[in-house]
Amino acid sequence: MKKTSTRLADGRELIYYDLRDDSVRDATDRRPLDRTVTTSEIRRDPLLGDSVAIASHRQGRTYHPPADKCPLCPSEGERLSEIPDSSYDVVVFENRFPSLAGDSGRCEVVCFTSDHNASFADLTEEQARLVLDAWTDRTSELSHLPSVAQVFCFENRGAEIGVTLGHPHGQIYAYPFTTPRTALMLRSAATHKEMTGGENLFDAVLERELAGERLVLEGEHWAAFVPYAAHWPYEVHLYPKRRVPDLLGLDEDARTEFPKVYLELLRRFDRIFGESEPPTPYIAAWHQAPFGSLEEFDGVVREDFALHLELFTIRRTSGKLKFLAGSESGMNVFINDVPPERAAERLREVASS
């Protein structure tokens, strides 16, 4: 992998990740852009104890542009985009309309491929490995920023999810605090550790699922399963079999196997509802241990947390979506219409030949 860092016309950082070591990235951003101005502010909810990002400048972000004006495609002739070069393998750049900025963190966009009509599932294993390397590199770099406590790599896919740019891409949020979901996991891990005399909760979950009926696929170094209490109609958790706290902890064997396992999982997701259905909308979310202090979590250390990816869709059956209505949105109590065991069975049924 070759890494080349440059700056866009408004001062934002852009980084090329190339498969070839002899790639030259010297194109300049020819757009007449003013410096980016953001209004991001973090406000803490005194009742719930969580944080909300107030970012009114995002109202003006690019919204469903036509394909010939996609800002994530390479620049070509007089059609200038966020990527100055005429080609790329993987690109990461600072979001022009970030939810988090400055002392409130940082937001980045990850373009998986220059092919506008592709998806992550269409990547080769070599390309998927390059994305993994980019995620890992960005996790490392962002973790050293003084305002960053946790790094979150994720992908939203599909208009039903709320995606406003059709080009295959993901995002990275670098939060200035430990997120509520992670805090809940850490508290559960702390309670389990105390109650069992030191057993790791993540290890116990993985061991149970490896032996159960909700296992979807398994490699030498990775395992994917539908969790016992899945929140979403089709939800899969992907774990490395050797517990590590973040992407930086993966060894070479796990990195080498990841593309094959993950691409197979994504391709199965696209076959859940039949070949005649549109591509399955999904969210793919990496959960990594915070880089800040864990003193508030009663004896849990970073190494107790288990890196894992959660992949889920809001489509519950053909032509129907799962909406977060009263119970889910009002009380955070999910109601799942698809039994996790049946979801796992379906994901095994659609395995590629």
Active site residues: 169
Backbone angles phi, psi at 84, to 5 degrees: -65, -30
Q: Is residue 267 within 8 Å of 204, Cβ to Cβ?
A: no
Q: Give the separation between CA 351 and CA 353, rounded to whole angstroms.
A: 6
User: Which residues, including other chains, have CB under 8 Å from residue 49's CB and lie 6 or more apart?
Assistant: none
**Diameter of the chain measured on Cα atoms:** 65
Q: Give the separation between CA 281 and CA 234, rounded to whole angstroms.
A: 11
Is 222 buried (19+), middle (13-18) or exposed (0-12) by CB count in 10 A?
buried
In the DSSP assignment, the letter for residue 328 is I
User: Which residues, including other chains, have CB under 8 Å from residue 225's CB and lie 6 or more apart?
Assistant: 209, 210, 212, 214, 215, 216, 236, 237, 344
First to last CA, the chain: 31
Nearest Cα neighbor of 230 from 346, 140, 334 is: 334
Residue 60: alpha-carbon gap to chain centroid: 24
Which residue is it, tokens 């902890």?
Answer: 249
